[in-house]
Copies of this chain bind each other. A is one copy, B any other.
Amino acid sequence: MSEPPSITQQEMRRRNLSLVMHAVARSGPLSRASVASRIGLTRAAVSTLVDELIGAGLLVELGPSRPGTVGRPGSALQLNEQGPAGLGAEIGVDHLAVCAVDLSGRVRARIVSEAANRNRAPGPVLDDLADLVRQVSAQAEDQGLRPVGLAVAVPGLVASGSSSVVRAPNLGWEGVDVAPSFPALPLTVDNEANYGALAELWLGGHDPAPRDLVHVSAEAGIGAAVVIDGRLLRGTHGFAGELGHVPVRPEGPPCACGGRGCLEQYAGEEALLRASGVDPAQAAARHPGPGRPIAYLAERAGDGDQQVRRALREAGKALGIALAGVVNLLDPQKVVLGGGLSPLLPWLLPALERELDRRVMDPGRVGQGAVTVSRLGADGPLLGAANSVVQACLDNPTWLRTRGTGAGASP
């Protein structure tokens, strides 16, 4: 095993700056004394850290609190709402979306644009997205915010630590580097399922946030993200989370991945439409906007279409079988069904839960709320992307200066 590096004073300082930021983010506005008692450092140490964070434009003082009390008044601290902003972007099969969030995670600007991206050349898609990023960035700057990073969510595999989309079958992309289209800001690119899971951790309304989580996402494909001990599992090559290619029926229909009977062959959008006897063009025509085939299927199921309902039951069963394997292997605290599936849940969920309950090693967990539905709707990946930039600021407040993007705000 390689030896872990020793801790330097500089790392301790960075870690303590981060503790202050997280304390204020979680419970602010807070006085310096409250921050000190929450993170277990002395008031003097906290004051030094706070001064540095104010100087860097990350915290602001609200002015004296409780002015009637004796002694030097404590001044409440909160995150700077006119400080750094995170930009998130999402490339969907039928839409592009960009938003800006401030340090508190509040959405301050947002544009969603319909676009038929399936099998469109990557160049024009990325040009359109770059346009939207410029517009949202300008809107954020008009509100006094300073975009410090961009995170792009894509429906495909992204190689570990790179900005390259290895494969996005539902877009028809292979080996597309996103970076050249976004030269102005520090960029990260990741799978939409990963950002969806991070959004669930940060914004999902769980208190406390689960440490171990499997988040199932579905836009055109079926993906998942695995969170272990509060951190996203990326896998050795960055390919973790391919729930859609867990075998459900080993001799089932052939799958584009080369296998047979993968979950995607039962619960993926294309398979669902096929089993429902629905023509994709018809589904697209009936419901404009993102997520249209899903919305169309939900409408048909709601109208009592037996073929659609049967297809959804079968999809729920397949999801339950695949998730039973996942639960038996990982024993997660929660399985969260991502927002993209929400419209179909009334017909998917009963079969899913029945199958899962039958097959997991400690039955009863399903009844105890181990399976929940995301509150974030279809917005998870976009919000997760934007918030990942903000979280990077909270985790490492010295990052902005290191990156050289915070020159204007430095003390």
Contact surface of A with B, Cβ cutoff 8 Å: 1-7, 12, 15-16, 19, 22-23, 26, 38-41, 157, 201-202, 208-209, 211-212, 224, 226, 228, 230, 233-243, 245-250, 257-260, 262, 321-322, 324-326, 328-333, 358-363
User: A34–B257 Cα gap in the complex (Å)?
Assistant: 51
Q: Given contact pairs A236-B332, A246-B329, enumerate 11 new A-B contacts (beta carbons under 8 Å).
A: A3-B19, A4-B19, A6-B39, A6-B41, A228-B228, A228-B233, A233-B330, A234-B331, A241-B329, A242-B329, A258-B359
Q: A6-B39, A325-B247 given as contacts; is B331 within 8 A of A238 (CB)?
A: yes
Q: In the complex, what residues of B have CB within 8 A of residue A6's CB? A: 15-16, 19, 39-41
User: A16–B8 Cα gap in the complex (Å)?
Assistant: 11
Closest to A41 in B: B6
When the two chains form their complex, are residues A329 and B212 in contact, meaning their CB atoms are under 8 A apart?
Answer: no
Closest to A210 in B: B236
User: A47–B15 Cα gap in the complex (Å)?
Assistant: 27
When the two chains form their complex, are residues B321 and A322 in contact, meaning their CB atoms are under 8 A apart?
Answer: no
Chain B proximity of A258: nearest CB distance (Å): 6
Looking at A1, A4, A212, A248, the one whose CB has the most chain B CB atoms below 10 A away is: A1
A-B contact pairs, 28 of them (CB 8 A): A1-B22, A1-B201, A1-B202, A3-B22, A3-B23, A4-B19, A5-B40, A6-B16, A224-B329, A234-B331, A235-B332, A236-B333, A240-B331, A241-B329, A241-B331, A242-B328, A242-B329, A242-B361, A243-B329, A245-B324, A245-B325, A245-B359, A247-B321, A247-B325, A248-B250, A257-B359, A258-B358, A326-B329
User: A254–B4 Cα gap in the complex (Å)?
Assistant: 47
User: A237–B232 Cα gap in the complex (Å)?
Assistant: 19
Looking at A6, A7, A22, the one whose CB has the most chain B CB atoms below 10 A away is: A6
Q: In the complex, what residues of B have CB within 8 A of residue A236's CB? A: 211-212, 331-333
Q: A212-B236, A331-B238 given as contacts; is B1 within 8 A of A259 (CB)?
A: no
Closest to A2 in B: B208
When the two chains form their complex, are residues A330 and B235 in contact, meaning their CB atoms are under 8 A apart?
Answer: yes
Closest to A9 in B: B12
